[in-house]
């Protein structure tokens, strides 16, 4: 049989039982919808974070007291470690401090935010032109005591009444006057934040002389990778172990991206269960279809159709069922991802983006077709091997 005859037979069989065909591909639709939307949003967030981290500056190095993300540090940096880093050739500026989470109170309401404290002059120097800009008011100065700078989300989104410059918030029952509001970054952790002077922050949170992050800027013209290696050597001696990470902006972006990538793969794998259900549905439908068309198979064989021709008809039919399900799921998945992106942006979560590419579209369609082909192959093989005389007799 010719290829166009095989395709025509397959389409004819699908169109004869439209309702059955649509019910069969629902599992594929749901599975592909979930996978496309999750892959799109997962890679969208990864790409956004990588771009934002690169904006921080290619001349910056982030130092953390842990080897892996999510593993609590065994101990923290001290002034001794900061001094060792400052003495490394090629280092321009060193900012050190602490980040964590705390509850703040405003107008009788209490909300949870991220907090950062560091020396204001160092903070301003290191992050100047890196996307952390003042929207209203001013930066903290080294002489400020009970004053703070807050994120855009903290000011405009968290509380029923917006926080304005000059308003007072409470942190651990201490009053802080808001002197500055940051521009929106798009990351909830940064937008819903409060920045404090290190002198007050240490006393407030009881971490005097301890730091859980250090950020370094490298002098112009210096090789950042060489400087990073020298920092590792100096810090290993000072810190007493190598249980820390020294990451350039590019390495930090890759590290965070790899963590998010693992999470995305896991979630997509869970969504793939729906696709497996769809594959079983196609296999079951093809098996029933073969039982219903035993006489048709016998007639085709009696007219000279080969076993491979019969096999091809059913395999192409199941492949098209998978492809149709993939097309519908792809469209719905893209629509869902774009809707989530739009909704997230509306609430200020700029990091949530839908990543759509030709690779994703083509890959999903090919994958869906192959799922259909594989699902229908074994029932089709058993149908292709039927004895034409027995099928014509109705046995």
Q: Which residues contact 376 (CB under 8 A, 6 or more apart)?
A: 282, 283, 286, 314, 315, 317, 318, 319, 321
Q: Which residues contact 269 (CB under 8 A, 6 or more apart)?
A: none
Same-domain check for residues 187 and 268: no
Q: How far is CA 119 from CA 52, 102, 144, 363, in A?
A: 23, 19, 10, 50
Does residue 238 lie in a domain region? yes
Same-domain check for residues 207 and 235: yes
pLDDT at residue 251, as a whole number: 72
Does residue 195 lie in a domain region? yes
pLDDT at residue 291, as a whole number: 62
Same-domain check for residues 99 and 205: yes
Q: Of 242, 275, 295, which marks where a domain is finished?
A: 242
Same-domain check for residues 304 and 389: yes
Structural domain of 369:
3-52+255-393
Does residue 59 lie in a domain region? no
Does residue 247 lie in a domain region? no
The pTM (predicted TM-score) of the whole model is 0.62
Same-domain check for residues 235 and 265: no
Q: Of 242, 268, 296, which marks where a domain is finished?
A: 242
Same-domain check for residues 209 and 80: yes
Same-domain check for residues 84 and 226: yes
Same-domain check for residues 100 and 189: yes
Q: What is the chain's pLDDT, residue by residue, as a tens digit (395 residues)?
A: 566 666 666 666 666 677 777 777 787 888 888 888 888 888 887 777 776 666 566 688 888 888 766 667 778 999 999 999 999 999 988 999 999 999 999 999 999 999 999 999 888 887 765 667 889 999 999 999 899 999 999 999 889 999 999 999 999 999 999 999 998 877 777 788 999 999 999 999 988 889 999 998 888 888 888 999 999 999 999 988 888 888 887 777 676 667 677 777 777 777 677 677 777 777 777 667 666 666 666 666 666 667 677 777 778 888 888 888 889 999 999 999 999 888 887 766 667 788 888 888 998 899 888 888 888 777 767 655 655 555 545 45
Q: Of 193, 210, 242, which marks where a domain is finished?
A: 242
pLDDT at residue 53, as a whole number: 62
Same-domain check for residues 193 and 307: no
Same-domain check for residues 159 and 14: no
Same-domain check for residues 343 and 265: yes
What's the CA angle centered on 67, arms 66 and 70, to 5 degrees?
70
Q: How far apart are the first and last CA of the chain?
A: 26
Radius of gyration of the chain (CA): 30
Same-domain check for residues 298 and 326: yes
Number of domains forming the structure of the chain = 2
């Amino acid at each position: 049989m010719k290829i166009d005859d095989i395709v025509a037979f397959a389409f004819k069989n699908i169109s004869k039982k439209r309702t059955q065909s649509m019910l069969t591909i629902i599992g594929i639709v749901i599975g592909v919808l979930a996978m496309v939307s999750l892959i799109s949003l997962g890679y969208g967030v990864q790409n956004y974070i990588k771009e934002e981290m690169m904006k921080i500056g290619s001349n910056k190095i982030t130092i953390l007291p842990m080897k892996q993300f999510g593993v609590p540090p065994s101990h923290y940096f001290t002034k001794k470690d900061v001094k060792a880093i400052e003495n490394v050739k090629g280092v321009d500026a060193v900012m050190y401090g602490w980040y964590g989470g705390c509850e703040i109170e405003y107008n009788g309401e209490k909300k949870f935010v991220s907090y950062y404290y560091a020396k204001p002059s160092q903070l301003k120097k290191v992050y100047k032109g890196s996307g952390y800009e003042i929207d209203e008011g001013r930066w903290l100065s080294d002489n400020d005591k009970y004053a703070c700078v807050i994120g855009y989300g903290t000011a405009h989104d968290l509380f029923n009444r917006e926080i304005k410059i000059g308003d007072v918030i409470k942190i651990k029952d201490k009053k802080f006057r808001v002197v500055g509001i940051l521009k929106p970054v798009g990351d909830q952790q940064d937008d819903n934040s409060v920045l404090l002077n290190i002198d007050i922050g240490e006393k407030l949170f009881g971490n005097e002389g301890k730091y859980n992050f250090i950020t370094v800027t490298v002098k112009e013209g210096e090789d950042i990778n060489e400087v990073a290696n020298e920092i590792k050597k100096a810090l290993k001696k000072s810190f007493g172990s190598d249980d820390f990470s020294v990451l350039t902006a590019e390495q930090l972006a890759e590290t965070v991206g790899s963590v998010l990538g693992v999470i995305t793969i896991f979630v997509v794998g869970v969504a793939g269960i729906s696709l497996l259900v769809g594959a079983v549905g196609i296999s079951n439908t093809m098996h029933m279809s073969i039982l219903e068309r035993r006489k048709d198979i016998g007639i085709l064989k009696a007219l000279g159709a080969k076993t491979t021709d019969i096999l091809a008809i059913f395999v192409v039919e199941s492949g098209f069922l998978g492809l149709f399900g993939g097309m519908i799921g792809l469209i719905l998945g893209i629509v869902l991802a774009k809707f989530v992106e739009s909704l997230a942006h509306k609430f200020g979560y700029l990091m949530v983006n839908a990543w759509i590419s030709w690779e994703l579209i083509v890959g999903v369609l090919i994958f869906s077709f192959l799922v259909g082909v594989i699902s229908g192959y074994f029932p089709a093989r058993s149908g292709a091997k039927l004895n034409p005389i027995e099928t014509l007799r109705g046995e």
